[in-house]
Amino acid sequence: PQFRQEILEDLVKLNKKVKPELVLMPSKYDTHQDHRTIAMEGFRAFKFTTILGYEILQGCSAFDATLFVILNKHHIDKKIAALSCFKSQKLRTERAGNKFVALENVRRTSQVAGYRVRTDYAEVFNVVRWIMK
């Protein structure tokens, strides 16, 4: 929150440069103040863009899953591999005492989401703003 204005300005610049049709960002209900700041400033910066909020486990006080994206095992394996590249995820995994526990929760969460829509895996989002063209 300390650098909220700078974050907003950087996101506005990014919006002008990239001109995205879709933005994925943390849920505005995320309890982590940095994530919530990104969600709120992202909403302001990408005013004319479809925005989907994603759930961060153990981080949302409320989350209304309104969009389910069907995935397969290959997608989940790629997501876990990508997340394992981030130092913060490695530390979280090491603190869990088992190097596979934290990242495997990604797989478990996607299986639960998939179960809700009768498939093996899914990713859930909250529709923040949907613009149909």
Same domain for 40 and 85, yes or no, is no
Residue 84 is predicted with a pLDDT of 82
Residue 57 is predicted with a pLDDT of 75
Residue 103 is predicted with a pLDDT of 77
Range with lowest mean pLDDT among 45-49, 82-86, 115-119: 82-86
Instruction: Give pLDDT tens digits for 56-110.
Output: 877 777 889 999 999 999 999 999 899 888 776 665 555 555 555 577 888 999 9
Residue 9 structure tokens: 């300005």
**Range 127-133 contact pairs with CB under 8 angstroms and sequence separation of 24 or more:** 127/52, 127/53, 127/66, 127/67, 128/25, 128/28, 128/43, 128/51, 128/52, 128/53, 129/43, 129/49, 129/50, 129/51, 130/50, 131/48, 131/49, 131/50
Percent of the chain with pLDDT strictly greater than 90: 65
pLDDT band of residue 21 (cuts 50, 70, 90) is very high
**How many domains does the chain fold into?**
2
Same domain for 58 and 74, yes or no, is no
pTM of the predicted protein model: 0.84
User: Of 45, 63, 81, which residue constitutes the final position of a domain?
Assistant: 63
Same domain for 111 and 76, yes or no, is yes
Residue 88 is predicted with a pLDDT of 67
Q: Which domain holds residue 6?
A: 1-63
Q: Is residue 130 part of a domain?
A: no
What integer best gives the mean pLDDT of the chain? 89
Question: Per-residue pLDDT averaged across 29-57, rounded?
Answer: 93
User: In this structure, are residues 52 and 67 in contact, taking their beta carbons and an 8 Å threshold?
Assistant: yes
Same domain for 30 and 86, yes or no, is no
Q: Is residue 113 part of a domain?
A: yes
Percent of the chain with pLDDT strictly greater than 70: 87
Same domain for 39 and 5, yes or no, is yes
3-state secondary structure 35-76: HHHHHHHHHHHCCCCEEEEECCCCCECCCCCCEEEEECHHHH
Identify the helix (H) or strand (E) that includes residue 124.
Answer: strand 121-129
